[in-house]
Structure 1
Amino acid sequence: MSRLRPPSRPTYLRVVRASAWYDLVVTAGFATPWTYVLVHDTLSSCGTALGLGALPELDPWQVLFANLMGSVVVVWAVLRIVGPLPQHGLFDGIARALFATWQAYALAHGVSRLLWLFLGVEVAFGVLQLAPWSLRAMRRAMRPPLDGHVHSPRQDVGNPVGRL
C-alpha cells in the first residue's frame, strides 16, 4: 500500500500557521464565559448595525458549548502555531469542511447572516489546506505503476490512494 506524502513546501506550513492565528484570534473570546459574553454582545451589535441580524439571547447551554468549542480550537490553534506539520493542515482542512457544512446548515435554518463572514474564511482556509493533498493524490492515482503494467481499477482496491 502506498502512502500519500504530505506537501513539503514552506509555503504550505505558512498557510497552516496563518489559519491557526486566525483561529486563535477569532475563537479566544469564546473560551471563557466572561469573554464570550463580550464577544456575543459585540457580534450581535455588529450584525444589527450591518443589517445581518442579531444573535439570540444568551442562555447557559449556548455559553457552555461556545466555551467548549473555544477551548478546543484555542488549544488546536496553539499546536499549529508552535509546531505546524503538513498533517496538521490536512486535519485542519477536514475540520474546516465539517465546520463549513454545519455553518451552511445553520444559515439555511435562519441564523444571523453574520455567519457568512466566518463561512467564507472556513471555506478559503479549507481549500488552501486540502488542495495540495488532493492534487498529490490525483497525480499519484494517474501515474503508471512502476512495473509498467496497466492495472484495472479493481486491482487498486487495497490502495486508498488509487481510489481517490
Structure 2
Amino acid sequence: MIRLHAPARPAYLRVVRASAWYDLVMTAGFATPWTYTLVHDALSSLGTALEWGALPERDVWQTLFANLMGSVVIVWAALRIVRPLPAHGLFDGIARTLFSAWMAYALAHGASRILWLFLTVEIAWGIAQLVPWLRNRRITAGLEHQSGRPERSVAN
C-alpha cells in the first residue's frame, strides 16, 4: 500500500492558495462566452505579434468547452482559496500533470506556441505541489524502515 504523508502545513498551504489565486486570475476570463471572446482575441493577437501563431477561429463548441473549463477551474480555485488543505495541493498537482500532458499533446499537433506560456506555468505549479509529497514519502519510508513500524499518514 502506498502511504502519502502531507507536507508541512503552513508553507505548503501558502503554495496551494497561491496556485489557486493564479488559477482564478488566469481562468476567470474563460468562464463566460463574452469574456472568452476577449481572452481569445487577446491571445490570438499576442500569438500573431510574437509570430507563434494565432488561435483557431472561435466556434460554439470551442466556446462551450472553454466556458466549462473556466467554470470548473474557478470553483476549484475558490475552494483552495477559502479552505486550502494539503490534499487539495496533491490533487491539484495531479490535475496539472494531466493538463500539462494534454497541452504538450496539442503543441505536438500544431497548436499555437502561445500555449508554451501556459504549459510552463502548469509544470511549475505541478512541481511545487507534488514534490513536497514525494519528499515526505521518501522521508517517511526511511523512518518506517529504521523503526520497523509504519508511520501514521495524515491527509489533512
Query: Same fold, TM exceeding 0.5?
Result: yes
Cross-structure match for 2:27: 27
Higher helix share: 2
Q: Deviations over 1:16-36 (max 9, x none)?
A: 111001100110000001110
Quote the offset at 1:3 in angstroms: 4.2
Cross-structure match for 1:15: 15
Determine if the alignment matches structure 1 residue 136 to structure 2 residue 123: no
RCO (CA 8 Å, sep 6+): is it higher in 1 or 2? Answer: 2
Cross-structure match for 1:146: 147
Equivalences, count: 149
Q: CA 1:110–1:13 in structure 2 vs 1: closer, same or farther (change >3 Å)? A: same
CA distance, structure 2, for counterparts of residue 147 and residue 111 of structure 1: 52
CA RMSD of aligned residues (A): 1.7
Q: Any unmatched runs of 5+ in structure 1? A: 149-160
CA distance, structure 2, for counterparts of residue 3 and residue 118 of structure 1: 31
Kept in 1, the 8 Å contact 2:48–2:54? The answer is yes
| Matched-pair identity in % | 70
Q: Match of 2:77, as an amino acid?
A: A
CA distance, structure 2, for counterparts of residue 52 and residue 109 of structure 1: 14
Cross-structure match for 1:72: 72
Moved over 6 A (4+): none
SS at match of 1:46: helix
Cross-structure match for 2:99: 99
Cross-structure match for 2:60: 60
CA distance, structure 2, for counterparts of residue 136 and residue 37 of structure 1: 43
Greater Rg over alpha carbons, structure: 1
Kept in 1, the 8 Å contact 2:5–2:140? The answer is no
Q: TM-score, normalised by structure 2?
A: 0.90
CA distance, structure 1, for counterparts of residue 32 and residue 124 of structure 2: 27
Quote the offset at 1:99 in angstroms: 0.2
SS at match of 2:147: coil
The answer to which of 3-12 and 109-118 deviates more is 3-12
CA distance, structure 1, for counterparts of residue 104 and residue 142 of structure 2: 33
SS at match of 1:4: coil
CA distance, structure 2, for counterparts of residue 120 and residue 132 of structure 1: 19
SS at match of 2:100: helix
Kept in 1, the 8 Å contact 2:3–2:137? The answer is no
